[in-house]
Amino acid sequence: MTQRTRTGISHFSRLARTLAPAAAILVLLALTGTATLRADDSPARVEAQNVRTVSFFSQALNEQRAFNLIVPLDYDTSTSRYPVLYLLHGYTGNNTDWTQQTNLSQYAARYRLIIVMPDGSNGWYVNSATDPKQKFEDTIVRDLIPYVEAHYRTIPLRRARAIAGLSMGGYGATFLGLKHADLFCALGSFSGALGVAHGLLHPPPTASEQERKNFEEIHSHFGAAGSAAAQERDPFEIVKKVPAAEMPLLYFAEGGEDFLIKSNREFMDELASLKIPYEYREVSPREHTWDFWDEQIQVFLEKLAHLPGFESRGRA
C-alpha cells in the first residue's frame, strides 16, 4: 500500500491531474449508489448496544427527521459531559450507513465522545439554491445541533464539536465546517466531493438522458457554476473568508484511484496557496469504497482524541 501525506502549508510539487480512464464510469456508479456495497454484501441490520436511532422534528424541513447516535458505553451510568462528532453519510445513503457499513460502534467505544449521524437525504447538506423547502444546512445547524445539546450531556462549546463525512458528506462537512467555523474545531473529509459546487463534477459524454437528469438534480442544489449561489456553497470560495484564528483543524483523505481525486488535489493546492494548515492523505490502492472510509474514520477519531476538547483520558 502506498500512502502520500501532505501536511501543513509547505509548497509541494504539482501532482498529476489526469483522471483514471474508468473515472467517468465510476462517477455514475457512485452517484447512483451502485459503487457502494450491494444489498447482499451488506452486514446484518443489527445495531450495537451503544447505537440508538432518534427521531426529532426539523423546523427547517417541517418534518420528522432521524439520526443515529453512538454514546459512550458508560453514558447511562455516568454524569459526565461529552464532546460530539457530527458524521455525515454519502449520496443515496442515510443515518444508518456508518453504523451498518463499518465497525464504527466498536471504534467509538475506545473514546469518550458522542457521535451523531443525521439523515441528510440527497440534499448535500446545503440550503437548496432552487428549492426553498430543502434547507439541509439549516436542519443541521439550527435544528439538529440544538436538539442534541438540549437532550444529551454534551459539552456545548466549539472546542468540543467536530464534523466529518464521506463523499457527499465529505463535501457537507467541509462546507459546514468552514462556513460555520465558529461552531466546529475540526473537520474531516473522506473521498469528499469537494468540487461539486466549483464546476468540477460533470456527466460523461456517454451519459444517458436519465443520468444527465440525475446530474441536473445534483447541481440544482448549488445553482449554475460560477453563479453567486454556487460560490456561496463552494468550499474553494468559503475557505478564503475564514479568519485564521477560526480555521478548524482540516483533515482530508482520498483514495489514489478514486474518481474524485482531481478535485481533492485542486482543493489541497488552494489551501497551500492560501498558506492554510491542513493534512491530506492519499492512499493507494484505494477507491470510492467502504473499506477506505472504515480505515479513515479510525484515523480521524484518533486525531480528535488529541485535541483539547476531545481528549479521552478514560480510553479503553
pLDDT value of residue 85: 98
Predicted structure pTM score: 0.87
- Domain ranges within the chain, ordered by starting residue: 2-304
In the sheet that holds 249-255, the strands lie side by side as: 2-7, 279-284, 249-255, 186-190, 161-166, 84-88, 114-118, 63-70, 51-58
Buried b / exposed e over 47-86, threshold 16 CB at 10 Å, is eeebbeebebebebbeeebebbbbbbbebeeeeeebbbbb
Q: Where are the beta strands (DSSP E) in the chain?
A: 2-7, 51-58, 63-70, 84-88, 114-118, 161-166, 186-190, 249-255, 279-284
Measuring CA to CA, which residue among 141, 137, 188, 194 is closest to residue 171?
194
User: Tens of pLDDT along the chain (316 residues)?
Assistant: 555 565 543 323 223 333 333 343 344 344 434 343 333 344 445 667 789 999 999 999 999 999 999 999 999 999 999 999 999 999 999 999 999 999 999 999 999 999 999 999 999 999 999 999 999 999 999 999 999 999 999 999 999 999 999 999 999 999 999 999 999 999 999 999 999 999 888 777 888 998 888 888 999 999 988 899 999 999 999 999 999 999 999 999 999 999 999 999 999 999 999 999 999 999 999 999 999 999 999 999 999 999 999 986 545 4
Under CATH, to which class is 2-304 assigned?
A: alpha beta
